[in-house]
Amino acid sequence: MLGLLNRVFVRIQRWKQGIPRGAADIYNRLADTTIKLLQELVAGEAARLNPERVADMGCGPGSLLLRLVELDELTYCVGIDISRPMAHIFWRNAGQRGARHRVDVVVADAHKMPLRRGCLDLLLSTGTLHHLRRPGEVFRECARVLREGGEAWIYEFSHDAPKAEVERTAREFKRPKLLLRLVAALHGLPRREFEEGYLRRELEESGVEYEVTYEGVVTRILVRPVGGG
């Protein structure tokens, strides 16, 4: 049942790509409460690297970047989202947290990011991959905008994680197991796509250096420029 639900919602989100007005406000209030738990962990891990130039691809309401700028001094920090309503929410949230002078947001397609080659130390993305129609192009874009030694961390929820790993994430996030699986089905991609499905093919054909790891219900792709170490 969750697999069917996932396939339906992934098709809808790829067709629409950007989250429209109305749905963006609902996402900001409801769905983000679970995804924000992942973003808290990602922001903490990113801050320990002390990066200077960071972007969030598919930034949504900006929770990840706004948390990161609270933890770390960044020279350059920009959110990228294809949804104009979501970018407006990001800017509003930044104002409420007194962070407009520390972040920027641009409305753009992840398949062609308006960033210079080699300009970033770190590119982050949480819950965006399932929206993308041509992920191979996006993986190449990620590698293009990273400096030598830079990394892209791309996170997705996976509803088909083993039971023991779901239980571990439920304890860590303090959320019911069923809720985590439901969020992963509505807002993620199954592990099988990374192991033997289309995402595995897209990664291999993209020509980037990558590594896929599983952390409970969370799947992470680490992308580096070829020869980036």
**Each residue's pLDDT tens digit, 169-202:** 999 988 889 888 888 888 889 999 999 999 999 9
CA distance 188 to 127: 6
Report yes or no on whether pTM surpasses 0.95. no
CA distance 191 to 102: 36
Domain count, the chain: 1
Q: Is residue 54 part of a domain?
A: yes
**CA–CA distance, 61 with 192 (Å, rounded to integer):** 29
- CATH number, domain of 38, equals 3.40.50.150
* Residue 151 within a domain: yes
pLDDT number for residue 228: 53
The torsion of the CA quartet 84, 152, 6, 93, rounded to 10 degrees, works out to -40
pLDDT in tens, 75-100: 899 999 998 988 999 999 999 999 99
Whether 83 maps to a domain, the answer reads yes
Q: If DSSP states are collapsed to H, E and C, what string results for 121-146?
A: EEEEEECCHHHCCCHHHHHHHHHHHE
**Mean pLDDT for the stretch of residues 13-22:** 56
User: Cα(72)–Cα(117) distance, rounded to whole angstroms?
Assistant: 24
The yes-or-no verdict on residue 229 having pLDDT over 50 is no
Structure tokens at 106: 């641009």
pLDDT in tens, 124-178: 999 899 889 999 999 999 999 999 999 999 999 999 999 999 999 999 988 889 8
For residue 24, being part of any structural domain is answered with: yes
229 in a structural domain = no
